[in-house]
Amino acid sequence: MNDMLEKENDKLEKENSNKNNFNYINTADDLEKKGIDARRIRKIDFSKKRAAVESVFDERTVFHLNKLLVNGPLDTIEGIISAGKEANVYLAYDLNGNEVALKIYKIDRNTSKWMRNYIVGDPRFKKMPNNISKLIYLWAKKEYKNLKRAYKVGLNVPKPIVIKSNILIMEYIGFGSIPAPLLKDIKDPKNKQELFDDIMIFIKDLYQKAHLVHGDLSEFNILYHNQKPIFIDISQAVDIEHPNAEKFLERDIKNVMNYFEKIGIEFKDAEKFYYQVINKSNKNRV
């Protein structure tokens, strides 16, 4: 087993057996109180790592992670980038010493409930898995497949590398050990109009070229790297044949519109844009 993981697990065991030392549980509780987005941690935050390690590293995840460390492509896991409700994201290194992002989905009944809305009706998935682990594995694979589809048509998403059960390895977006910030954390992006255009083109190309709708697009799921948007968190994205695809598309457009309104860019033709996105596609697909 990777040294770091082993040490981490040892530490956890010790802390679990020491009833007076519940600091990490308080941290987790505090995190729980703050809503999903407030919980996102911008820098590698080692103080939160214990809580994060505990909540995703069940026995099977450790087993699969160990395999990825022993057989590659992983070399080391460096630290946590984000501890969330559905998944934790870590900075890791591959065998060539390059950074990769490691997203580990939690096998958790509560977070899995809403997922069915984004699976049932997508022609790629014939039936809902009947146990939680299988559902989460499918969910992780869905993100991998969605990333692949988007990446293949040249969209600005992290390149997917490996999917193994609930562990997704993808291209890391950042400079060295500093991960790229989310758009929501950029006070005043310089190139607002260009940024807006890039995001609109992404929505359109994702629909027309990758035949997907993101479904959770907002400044919370767009990284700002080299003054360009990189689109992440695409597990819930549905095929455009999904019965709610258009509803999700409308919501994505509204979210982006609201964000740009806040930073002083008005988007008057949202409806026209929406029809452009779906009509063009209909023509293409005939």
Ligand X SMILES: Nc1ncnc2c1ncn2[C@@H]1O[C@H](COP(=O)(O)OP(=O)(O)OP(=O)(O)O)[C@@H](O)[C@H]1O
Catalytic: which of 29, 122, 197, 216?
Answer: 216
Give the interface segment with Mg ion, choosing from 119-127, 175-183, 187-195, 221-229 (CB under 5 A).
221-229
Query: Does residue number 178 form part of the binding site for ligand X (CB under 6 A)?
Result: no
104 binds, among ligand X, Mg ion, none (CB under 5 to 8 A by kind): none
Q: Whole-angstrom distance between the N-terminal and C-terminal Cα of the chain? A: 53
For position 182 contacting ligand X by CB under 6 A, the verdict is yes
- Cβ atoms within 10 Å of 36's Cβ, excluding its own: 11
Single out the residue of 88, 221, 235, 236 in contact with Mg ion (rule: CB under 5 A).
221
Cα(212)–Cα(242) distance, rounded to whole angstroms? 9
d(CA 63, CA 26): 28
d(CA 207, CA 204): 5
Q: Per-residue x/- marks for ligand X, 210-239, CB under 6 A? A: -----------x----------xx------
Sign of CA dihedral 188, 191, 193, 195: negative
Helix (H, G, I), strand (E, B) or coil at 187: coil
Q: Do 204 and 153 meet the contact criterion of CB atoms below 8 Å apart?
A: no
With CB under 5 to 8 Å by kind, the binding choice for 170 among ligand X, Mg ion, none is ligand X
Selected binder of ligand X within 50, 61, 74, 84 (CB under 6 A): 84
**Tokens linked to 274:** 């929406």
Query: Counting contacts by CB under 6 A, is residue 179 touching ligand X?
Result: yes
Amino acid identity for residue 194 in this structure? E
145 near ligand X, rule: CB under 6 A: no
# chain residues binding ligand X, by CB under 6 A: 23
- Token couple for 204: 């359109």
Q: Quick check: helix, strand or coil at residue 229?
A: strand
Question: From the candidates 94, 122, 233, 252, which is the catalytic residue?
Answer: 233
Report in angstroms how near the CB of residue 143 gets to ligand X at its nearest. 8
Q: Does 236 bind Mg ion (CB under 5 A)?
A: no
Residues labelled catalytic: 216, 233
Q: What is the contact surface with Mg ion in residues (CB under 5 A)?
A: 221, 233
